[in-house]
């Protein structure tokens, strides 16, 4: 009897201890069960790119609710079941930019900010229509070039510029989160 | 054999039995939510005599109704779909299907071409955990795992799911050995409606080319079908979101041309199909509701019949009996969903909770 108990204890010990590591950002709501960080762990990134609009700072991968509340009524709003998480992806359209969120536990987190026209700029003054030289003068040359895109990474965020014929045609801030197809 | 050896063997067997039972308890059941977690394993209980097999992501398991395909055209079909099914997963699922049966046509939804590498463990699990152990499964796991995942946790899922002990409910015990069928040959039914109000345009991309890995597995799928004498039909289902770029469409047109396949982007045929995005989707355009799925399926069925000369098999007694039972289940679920919608205002038992909370 003692042997049986020992074997069971050993097998249960191994079952309990050798769990696979799962996603770093925390897969909070899937039915597979979480053994990850909590929402709060990712709520306040220590460093990263932020978009600023009318004195509102919009960091990536933080709770979107207070930001959306301050920004006021969006021009348009879209939501659909998330492809990557349990819950809804949401897109808020404001004048000059769109703000995307992904669901994380009970909250929505900022997944990206995409600039839509030249009425808004990055915090360093780059806007749709700026040149590659403008970008490098503002952000330096520590970028990754992928085709027509120039990607700057800071913490768990990235700022992407697409440059075509020496003019910036797209500017997007992204949260770097596993499962978000950025 | 002496007594000591017998006791040792008994101890090992008992330990294995306990672990097997624990694994049964800890595995997610996907009954009260995330129903798509059951889709892959439901296939194994089927009588495998299908003329058409659909593979792909939610754009097949939400948008195509095999019951409609049977009732309208007499085409027996099955959807081996799963949430965010990646191209290599589709390939290995197809490879597995072909060990059981040889359909006349395989239909692959091409949205997944946008993903060139594994995305998220949770979605890997929804596609892979339900597969029976086979070489196809092992290869699918190998192709799908993220860096931090381990093969052993797919072979012995208890190693992955033991952390669910805090979340266990009566459901985990109730459905340890048997789960009710939730899909209709892989189709997940939803009768509720949430109109399309905004169609988000896609963000500008630096590179619109599909990745090498995606193409590699599409090539394998094409070859596998050709080797087996199966017609491969590539489709883009009529969901308006996620955004399907024109540049992506052109690549699929080109691929089909080069490989002598048919590719149809059904977003170009929504008017002919009679799809009304105010009434035919349950989540603002990502997935069709039942009305939308039936419209799309009727159109698709016509095409399958004409292009691939699929025969109407409703006259075959064995199939007729099987599909009669399936139809009854289908219409009883429709009735139940209509009732829930009327009673609660949303589909309480069919995964609509999140949206309804959002709307309140």
What residue ranges do the domains of chain B occupy? 35-310
Q: Do B164 and A22 touch (CB under 8 A)?
A: no
Calpha distance B292→B209 (Å, rounded): 30
Q: Cα dihedral angle (B81, B83, B84, B88), rounded to 10 degrees? A: -40
Does the domain at B35-310 match CATH 1.10.20.10? Answer given as no
Rounded alpha-carbon distances, angstroms, from residue A68 to A94, B72, B343: 10, 48, 33
Judge contact between B74 and B311, C-beta under 8 A: yes
Show the low-confidence residues of chain B (pLDDT under 50).
Answer: 353-360
Amino acid B178: pLDDT: 86
Residues 45-64 of B with CB under 8 A from A: 58
Amino acid B168: pLDDT: 87
A72 part of contact set with chain B, CB < 8 Å: no
Calpha distance A50→A58 (Å, rounded): 5
Amino acid B198: pLDDT: 85
Exposure string for A71-85, b = 16+ CB within 10 A, e = fewer: beebeeebbbbbbbb
ipTM: 0.72
Q: Do A30 and B122 touch (CB under 8 A)?
A: yes
Q: Do A4 and B10 touch (CB under 8 A)?
A: yes
pLDDT digits (tens, 9 = 90+) for B290-318: 999 999 999 999 999 999 999 999 999 99
Among chain A residues, CA nearest to B36: A31
Q: Is A53 helix (H, G, I), strand (E, B) or coil?
A: strand
Does the structure show a pLDDT above 70 at A43?
A: no
pLDDT digits (tens, 9 = 90+) for B183-198: 999 999 999 999 988 8
Rounded alpha-carbon distances, angstroms, from residue B208 to B116, B211, B253: 12, 9, 14
B211 part of contact set with chain A, CB < 8 Å: no
**Residues A116-129: what's their mean pLDDT?**
96
Six-digit token string for B9: 């063997």
Among chain B residues, CA nearest to A35: B163
B11 part of contact set with chain A, CB < 8 Å: yes
Residues 155-174 of A with CB under 8 A from B: 160, 162, 169-170, 172
pLDDT digits (tens, 9 = 90+) for B42-85: 999 999 999 999 999 999 999 999 999 999 999 999 999 998 99
Amino acid A161: pLDDT: 97
Residues of chain A in contact with residue B245, where contact means CB-CB under 8 angstroms, are none
Does the domain at A39-175 match CATH 1.10.10? Answer given as no
Angle at B268 between CA B265 and CA B274, to 5 degrees: 115
Amino acid A14: pLDDT: 52
């Amino acid at each position: 009897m003692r042997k049986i108990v020992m074997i069971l204890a050993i097998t249960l010990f191994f079952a309990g201890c050798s769990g696979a590591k799962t996603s770093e950002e925390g897969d909070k709501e899937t039915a597979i069960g979480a053994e990850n960080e909590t929402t709060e762990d990712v709520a306040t990134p220590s460093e990263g790119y932020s978009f600023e609009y009318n004195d509102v700072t919009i960091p990536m991968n933080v709770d979107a609710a207070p930001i959306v509340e301050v920004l006021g009524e969006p021009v348009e709003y879209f939501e659909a079941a998330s492809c990557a998480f349990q819950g809804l992806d949401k897109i808020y359209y404001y004048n000059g930019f769109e703000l995307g969120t992904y669901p994380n536990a009970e909250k929505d987190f900022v997944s990206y900010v995409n600039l839509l026209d030249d009425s808004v700029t990055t915090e360093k003054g780059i806007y749709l229509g700026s040149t590659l030289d403008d970008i490098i003068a503002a952000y330096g040359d520590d970028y990754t070039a992928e085709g027509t895109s120039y990607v700057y990474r800071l913490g768990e965020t990235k700022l992407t510029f697409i440059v075509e014929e020496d003019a910036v045609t797209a500017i997007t801030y992204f949260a770097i989160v596993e499962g978000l197809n950025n | 054999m002496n007594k000591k050896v017998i006791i040792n063997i008994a101890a090992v067997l008992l330990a294995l039995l306990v672990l097997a039972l624990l694994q049964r308890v800890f595995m997610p059941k996907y009954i009260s939510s995330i129903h798509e977690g059951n889709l892959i394993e439901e296939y194994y209980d089927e009588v495998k005599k299908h003329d058409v097999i659909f593979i792909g992501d939610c754009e097949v398991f939400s948008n195509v109704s095999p019951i409609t395909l049977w009732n309208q055209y007499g085409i027996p079909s099955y959807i081996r779909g799963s949430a965010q099914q990646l191209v290599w997963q589709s390939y290995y699922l197809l490879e597995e299907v072909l060990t059981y049966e040889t359909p006349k046509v395989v239909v692959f939804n091409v949205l997944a071409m946008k993903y060139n590498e594994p995305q998220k463990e949770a979605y890997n699990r929804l596609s892979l955990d339900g597969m029976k152990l086979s070489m196809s499964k092992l290869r699918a796991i190998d192709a799908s795992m993220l860096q931090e995942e381990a093969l052993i946790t797919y072979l012995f899922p208890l190693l992955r799911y033991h952390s669910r002990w805090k979340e266990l409910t009566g459901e985990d015990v109730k459905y340890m050995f048997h789960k009710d069928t939730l899909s209709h040959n892989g189709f997940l039914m939803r009768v509720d409606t949430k109109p399309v109000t905004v169609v988000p345009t896609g963000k500008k991309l630096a590179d619109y080319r599909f990745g090498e890995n995606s193409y590699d597995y599409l090539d394998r799928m094409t070859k596998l079908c050709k080797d087996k004498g199966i017609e491969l039909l590539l489709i883009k289902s009529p969901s308006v979101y996620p955004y399907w770029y024109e540049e992506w469409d052109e690549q699929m047109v080109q691929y089909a041309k080069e490989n002598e396949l048919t590719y149809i982007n059904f977003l170009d045929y929504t008017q002919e199909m009679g799809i009304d995005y105010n009434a035919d989707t349950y989540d603002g355009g990502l997935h069709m509701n039942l009305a939308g799925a039936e419209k799309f399926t009727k159109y698709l069925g016509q095409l399958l019949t004409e292009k691939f000369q699929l025969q109407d098999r409703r006259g075959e007694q064995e199939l007729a009996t099987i599909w009669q039972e399936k139809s009854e289940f289908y219409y009883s679920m429709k009735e139940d969903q209509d009732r829930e919608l009327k009673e609660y205002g949303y589909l309480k038992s069919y995964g609509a909770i999140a949206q309804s909370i959002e709307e309140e």
